[in-house]
Structure 1
Amino acid sequence: MITKSVTLKECVRLIGGTLVRGNPGRVLYSANRGSYRSLTSNQVYFIDTHQSVEKQLAALRNHPVAAVVLPSDVPGSHIPERTAIIRVRSVTDAYWRLASWNWKQATPKHVVGITGSAGKSTTTEMVYAVLKQRARVVHTRGNLNTFTFLPTYLLRLNPGDPILLLEMGMKSLNNIARQCRVVRPNVGVVTNVGEAHAGSLGGLDTVVKAKQELVDGMRPGGILYLNADCARSRQLSTRRFYGTVRTFGIQNSADIRGENIRYGTHGMSFDVRIRNEKFPCVIPHWGNHNVLNALAAIGICLSLGYSKKEIQNGLARSRPPRMRLQLIRAKSGKLLINDAWNANPSAMKAGLTVLKNIAIGTKRIPIAVLGDMMELGRYTYTGHRDVGVHTANQSLSLLVTYGSNSREIGRTAISQGMDPKRVIHYSNRAELIRFLKYAPQNSVIYFKGSRKLKMEKIVDDLARLPARG
């Protein structure tokens, strides 16, 4: 959506284009870049040349009144006759111009920025589950969390929207800084600083610098939450931050502290202590790392004026993002834990701890299927060995490694005392699925690996397999 309706003539002016054809008085109500499946009438549609132009043009035939922003290398003759055409020099620049205009019309009172090496999506989902109880909230969806996608959220804002909730991801330095220069968060969280993207960024010190961009990019007078249990988070400098710094944690002293943490049938329960006050919370997520995410979310929501009751209700209704410790009951009776979105050593170790506790609680046989971690750079060998050491102490019935670098997890686990008969490696997906088909019916199987491995396909295939006859 865009803040208010604009005429085609006004839209052309705002984006710096040239009207090739169309009624200048036609009214447009929303904007869309490249999402041809969600194309509707009365949209200004920005053709994305990184996608199939043919499919986008075909979709336009079903919505001939939509306006199109057209790069010069797409022939206008291919556009349906009733569709207006605007030519621009750069689709990206035009899209940003419209988004910036909309941002100025509807700047919300609060901008929440959430970053970190792990837990960004889960924390964002937890915060959204609380905030949406009161009002419409524009928030990051899926993994569309870099500077490239920021205009999409700016264009969804309407007048009166009180909060813009952004998960701030990055693939390189300066990405979070660029986002902050546009929106300037007044509430921020760094969930942790870990190994994610250490390879592409050139090392852990650079990861710290990347997360520092949120700290330095916040509004004066804002509130920043940092993880008291994360050693690398203590490397973040608040010297240039002119606001309030608060901490959350479990192990160390913190402003918001989790206590009495318990695994349950449907998630975690714990007490939240803030100074001398204490109140209980339940989340349908597993693991102490998700309790930390919840503590960060609690801090954000309290800063925005939400009550403890609203926070308790919202957190209890939050749901894990897809492929983040999702529990799936297979047709065969096996319990599958799909944690296959991505992988780094810290996240993999946290997931293995969850597997161990769920196996104990459900009296199931624990099996781990661990794939390569691909974005560690020079930490690749060390990272896989680190996971191997941790794995050896998780009382696994079986460790299955998948890929190439993951072999080091198995080798290290064996060197740390794990029975070699309980460690196996596969490089072929079909062979791995055939092997897991014969895992005990009362097993719980955990899946974790880098995005490129697409281990969720293994989970999906295994979930559909019936019990052995």
Structure 2
Amino acid sequence: MKALTSETISKMVQGRLEIPSEIMVNQISIDTRTLEKGSLFIAIKGENFDGHDYIKQAIKNGASLVMVREGTSLPGKVPAIFVNDTLKALGMLAHEYRKLFNRPVAAITGSVGKTNTKERLAAILSARYNVHKSMGNYNNDIGLPLSVLEMNDEHEVAVFEMGMRGFDEISTLSEIVNPDIAVITNLGISHIERLGSRQNILKAKLEILEGMTNKGVVVLNGDDELLSGLKDLLPQKTLFYGIDEDQDVWAYDLSSRGEEGVYFQVKTQTNDMKLFIPAPGIHNVHNALAGIAVAETLNMSEDEIKKGLESFSGEQMRLSIEEKDGIKFINDSYNAAPASMTAAIDV
């Protein structure tokens, strides 16, 4: 991350700095096990833990500064920033930190395929740019701010994933990141027990637009009937992708080669490309098309797109094919949804 002073951090979160001293912070963490010398430890209260119980351990492990809620008793003279809510302060800090970087930022949400699309997009963009991406599925109100805070001056573009369980969650994440490009992969039935209908899921996913300006670009799966219905309804420029012909980024002549991967042709507004994905499953074509749409928005060439696309073969425990005792297993066990399990069966 870009180094920040304790005073700057305090101002960013509208906090109260106690024992003021010019401390340089080079890392921010909520986990005492990952602290390095010169770190800021933010004491977050979760469902099953409270970081305030680990302040003494944080100091021992190298934290130079702690951020705690008002009223917290500290073990001795510890440089600290007091705030009303440390979780909200984490989001505020990430939001202000994001403003320090005039870089294109893409954000991805959807019912399934978010992480795969994020990884595939990052691989494509890496053929030209130094890319920062959110770690694993760091896609909530804790993980996403922490990912933002790992950006540095070397990064030329950033890709973040946004998840949700209900309303007003993605809007919070979008306001933190202020994406230039937003991607919605699809609308399934994940979290329908909380939201009641796919129309409500659409409403929740569209919160990703709340942190964008009208100059942004929205990339949507045009093969999804609810998303395709948004044509000409959004204030931002909109690009649709899919395997149905009437798309801005259209895949055709798809040829699955089993475990080897998938060959396909892609027609965009500027190119007609023959491409290959070194991963099984036609569903991966949709994830790739989202990445291609973003890549063309960022002026990448056909050769760069090909190179980046072929560099990523997939992730462990996400439709990975494994063999044991002569038997092949499809491992899609990481946070699988009905739609992703169906895709695994289709492979």
Does TM, normalized by the shorter one, top 0.5? yes
Distance (whole Å) between structure 2 residues aligned to residue 208 and residue 9 of structure 1 = 41
Matches of residues 71-150 of structure 1 in structure 2 within 5 Å? Answer: 71-72=69-70, 74-77=72-75, 84-108=79-103, 110-150=104-144
Partner letter of residue 198 of structure 2?
Answer: L
2:174 and 2:209 in contact (8 A); partners too: no
Partner letter of residue 67 of structure 2?
Answer: V
1:192 and 1:233 in contact (8 A); partners too: yes
Partner letter of residue 71 of structure 1?
Answer: R
Q: Which residue of 2 aligns with 1:40?
A: 36
Distance (whole Å) between structure 2 residues aligned to residue 315 and residue 190 of structure 1 = 19
Q: Which residue of 1 aligns with 2:59?
A: 60
2:134 and 2:148 in contact (8 A); partners too: no
Q: Which residue of 2 aligns with 1:25?
A: 22
1:134–1:57 Cα change, 3 Å: farther
1:30–1:282 Cα change, 3 Å: same
1:307–1:103 Cα change, 3 Å: same
Partner letter of residue 99 of structure 1?
Answer: A
How far residue 88 of structure 1 moved from its aligned partner, in angstroms, is 3.1
1:216 and 1:241 in contact (8 A); partners too: no
Distance (whole Å) between structure 2 residues aligned to residue 149 and residue 43 of structure 1 = 17
1:14 and 1:101 in contact (8 A); partners too: yes
How far residue 300 of structure 1 moved from its aligned partner, in angstroms, is 0.7
Instruction: Name stretches of at least 5 consecutive residues in structure 2 with no aligned partner.
Output: none
> Secondary structure, in 3 states, of the residue corresponding to 1:66?
strand
Partner letter of residue 193 of structure 1?
Answer: L
How far residue 298 of structure 1 moved from its aligned partner, in angstroms, is 0.8
Matches of residues 259-298 of structure 1 in structure 2 within 5 Å? Answer: 259-260=252-253, 261-274=255-268, 277-298=271-292
Q: Which residue of 2 aligns with 1:436?
A: none
2:271 and 2:302 in contact (8 A); partners too: no
Distance (whole Å) between structure 1 residues aligned to residue 345 and residue 61 of structure 2 = 49
How far residue 294 of structure 1 moved from its aligned partner, in angstroms, is 0.6
How big is each residue's C-alpha offset from its partner over 1:403-451, in whole Å with a ceiling of 9 and x where there is no partner?
xxxxxxxxxxxxxxxxxxxxxxxxxxxxxxxxxxxxxxxxxxxxxxxxx
How far residue 41 of structure 1 moved from its aligned partner, in angstroms, is 0.6
1:111 and 1:165 in contact (8 A); partners too: yes
Structural RMSD (CA): 2.6
Distance (whole Å) between structure 1 residues aligned to residue 191 and residue 7 of structure 2 = 44
How far residue 309 of structure 1 moved from its aligned partner, in angstroms, is 1.3
How far residue 24 of structure 1 moved from its aligned partner, in angstroms, is 0.6
Matches of residues 317-328 of structure 1 in structure 2 within 5 Å? Answer: 317-328=311-322
1:166 aligns with 2:160: yes
Matches of residues 179-198 of structure 1 in structure 2 within 5 Å? Answer: 179-198=173-192
How far residue 36 of structure 1 moved from its aligned partner, in angstroms, is 2.0
2:243 and 2:250 in contact (8 A); partners too: yes
How far residue 197 of structure 1 moved from its aligned partner, in angstroms, is 1.6
How far residue 102 of structure 1 moved from its aligned partner, in angstroms, is 1.7
Distance (whole Å) between structure 2 residues aligned to residue 235 and residue 284 of structure 1 = 32
Partner letter of residue 183 of structure 1?
Answer: V
How big is each residue's C-alpha offset from its partner over 1:112-147, in whole Å with a ceiling of 9 and x where there is no partner?
122221111111101111223333322222222134
1:212 and 1:236 in contact (8 A); partners too: no
How far residue 13 of structure 1 moved from its aligned partner, in angstroms, is 4.1
> Secondary structure, in 3 states, of the residue corresponding to 2:108?
strand
How far residue 275 of structure 1 moved from its aligned partner, in angstroms, is 5.4
2:144 and 2:161 in contact (8 A); partners too: no
Partner letter of residue 37 of structure 2?
Answer: S
**TM-score for the superposition, normalised by structure 1:** 0.66
1:190 and 1:226 in contact (8 A); partners too: yes
Distance (whole Å) between structure 2 residues aligned to residue 283 and residue 320 of structure 1 = 10
Matches of residues 377-388 of structure 1 in structure 2 within 5 Å? Answer: none
How big is each residue's C-alpha offset from its partner over 1:321-354, in whole Å with a ceiling of 9 and x where there is no partner?
3321011222x22211111123444332222111
Distance (whole Å) between structure 1 residues aligned to residue 83 and residue 208 of structure 2 = 33
Distance (whole Å) between structure 1 residues aligned to residue 272 and residue 11 of structure 2 = 55
Q: Which residue of 2 aligns with 1:311?
A: 305
How far residue 56 of structure 1 moved from its aligned partner, in angstroms, is 5.9
Distance (whole Å) between structure 2 residues aligned to residue 340 and residue 218 of structure 1 = 34
2:23 and 2:65 in contact (8 A); partners too: no
> Secondary structure, in 3 states, of the residue corresponding to 1:214?
helix
1:229 and 1:252 in contact (8 A); partners too: no
How far residue 44 of structure 1 moved from its aligned partner, in angstroms, is 1.4
Distance (whole Å) between structure 2 residues aligned to residue 221 and residue 70 of structure 1 = 38
How big is each residue's C-alpha offset from its partner over 1:70-110, in whole Å with a ceiling of 9 and x where there is no partner?
33565312x7x7x53343332224333432332222242x1
Distance (whole Å) between structure 1 residues aligned to residue 212 and residue 17 of structure 2 = 39
2:260 and 2:279 in contact (8 A); partners too: yes
How big is each residue's C-alpha offset from its partner over 1:361-396, in whole Å with a ceiling of 9 and x where there is no partner?
xxxxxxxxxxxxxxxxxxxxxxxxxxxxxxxxxxxx
How far residue 55 of structure 1 moved from its aligned partner, in angstroms, is 5.3
Q: Percent identity?
A: 28
**TM-score for the superposition, normalised by structure 2:** 0.87
Q: Which residue of 2 aligns with 1:258?
A: 251
Q: Which residue of 1 aligns with 2:346?
A: 353
Q: Which residue of 2 aligns with 1:69?
A: 67
Instruction: Name stretches of at least 5 consecutive residues in structure 1 with no aligned partner.
Output: 355-469
